[in-house]
Structures are given as structure tokens and as C-alpha cells.
Structure 1
């Protein structure tokens, strides 16, 4: 029975460990990816080369907020035709332009949309931050210079550290307690078997 309990317990622990590890990997990957992107952003000037725009399937519109008294904002991605210039670099083509819609105490869910934000940029140049990919096209583009953008990597770092602290710490404690219980059960069973064997050895044979 102890062996069966040990196998079931280890299977449960293994499955839980896999889920927690994958979740932590995702959270830490988000932080690393956002940090890497920030290192490649170039401040420049952008303009829309077409009035057409669409709301992309991915990435999704995301709301972010620093805990307590920190700023809150919505990242609004819109598919547009864009021309960007900065640091002797020019990029043209279709890309996802990210708008930062700053939120207040009460969040606005109607105006943080492509249909509301994109028309405001038509026919004029605006400050932007952009990065090129390996083929010379757009990697990413944001409305506003880099220093004006919210510090998303810092928030993602806080989330990753918090998740690791809240999941891996208790998980290791649960693992230790479970393994300790399985070892104790195995020891008790072995002790019972040993006592039964000793009993059989000292009992006299029948007539």
C-alpha cells in the first residue's frame, strides 16, 4: 500500500511541478522578451502611409497596472501601414502599432480602441519608438518615445518574482512533506513485516 501511495503521490507531484515550471517559464520569458525589445527600440518620427487599419487577432489588447499607487494603462495594438525614421534608419511597411492609453481610477473601455486612437494620427507626423527585425522590416512600433512609454519590463519582473515566490516555495514545502510521509509509511510497513517475520521464527512448530 505504501508503494502504491508513493507512486500516486509522485505522479501528482510530477504533474503539479510541470504546470508550475511551465507557468514560471512563461512569466520569466515575458520579462526577458520585453527587456530585449526595449534594448532595440529607436526613438524617431513616424507617419501613417494609409488611412486603413485593422484590429489584429494577436497580440490582444492588454491592461496593465502597477500595484497600489502605480500607473495603469492599456496597450492597444493596431495593424497599420507605417513609415518610421530615426538614427539614420528608415522602415516602411505593415506593422502593429502599439498605443498607450493611460487609465485613471475608473478604467475607460470605449476610447482605448483602434477606431478611436488611429484617426488622431492621420495626416501628421508623431513621435514614436520602433525596432527593426532581421529582414529590415518592423519588429515593433510604439506611439511615443521610449522614455514616455510605461516601464513594462519592471512590472513583468515583479510579476515573475511574485509568482516564483508564491508557487515554488510552497511547492517545495509540499514536496518535502509528501516525501516525508511516504518514507514514514514505507518504514512502518517494513517494520510490521519484520515483526511478523520474527513472530513466525520464534513460534514452535505444530504437533
Structure 2
């Protein structure tokens, strides 16, 4: 059995993370052609390209250069399942009614996700502190939530919802208790909202992504 070389390792790790050659080239700061040549074993990355390449492929430099079996303090992350459009809260609020969803999805910035979601899923960046908590679950401002409108909302699920008196959607926990429904924030400083025919559940949150 032939030992995997650097060029083969780059190709394997790229596919593991679900990157296209073009996406990996953007992360590393090289041309699409450079990635293609590396994977075809025509050329190899130069010294200055190794560090950003290792970071993009989620391994350390030694692991990238020498392969599996070398001690590393960086674990390979979960596989990228696909991308979803990153939209505004106004767009999220009208997501179920929009006839031009495909147009918005195609024109919006795409956000990579490891969550298994359907074709109508989307992402939105959280604003405000209503879902920030010092204990238990928390979704701080700046987090990106990935949500799927084709999943049935159940009690205890975090959902994207829109109240009838607002054009914008909000993210809250859905609580159903003795037939009554509520939207509950994780931050106890904010009020729980009783809903009864005055709210549209847009989607169920499948993943929360935080940048550090």
C-alpha cells in the first residue's frame, strides 16, 4: 500500500470538509488553478502557503506535511453537509410567503453548515441579547442560526417565528404547555410571549454557529 503524499492529503482533506477547489483557494489566498495543480501532483504548495492551507483544512502543519499518525492538538471537524443562504430577519419573516425564494437563495451570501437540512433551509445572524444566558443554552448576539422550514416545530425546539404585528422574524424557544403556546427567550430579563393565532412559525433551528 502506497503512503499518502502531501498532494493526495490536500485532496482528501478538502473533500472531507466539503470544500470545492475554488472555495479552498479563497481560504488559502491562491488561485483555483493552484489547488487543481496541487491535487493533480503537478506542483506542491510553497512554504508561505502551508500555514493557511493547514488552517483551512483544520489540521496542524505537521499533520498536513506528514500525515495521519502524527500527534496533533487539532481535531478534524464534522463534515460540511452543504451551504445555506444567509438572509436578513425581514426576509426570514416572509420566507414562507416569498415566491422568489430561489432567487434570494442564489443571490445571497452562502454559509457552510454541518447540519442535515432540506433545500429550503436558511441562516440568519442573531441580533440582541434575548437569547443570551449565563447558564444552560445560549445563543449570543452575532451567532448564526441555521434553520429548516420543513421540520415540524415541537415544544422545546428553538424556532424562527414572526408575530403578526411585526415584519421581522425572531429566534425563541417554542414552549407548549397544556395546550398553550409561548415563545420563550433564554435571557430571563426578557418576557415570555404568549402566542395564539398571532404568530407564524417560520422554521426550526438545527444549528448555532459562533465565531470566535
Q: TM-score, normalised by structure 1?
A: 0.23
- Tell which has more relative contact order, 1 or 2 (C-alpha 8 A, sep 6+): 1
Q: Answer 1 or 2: which has greater helix percent.
A: 1
Q: TM-score, normalised by structure 2?
A: 0.23
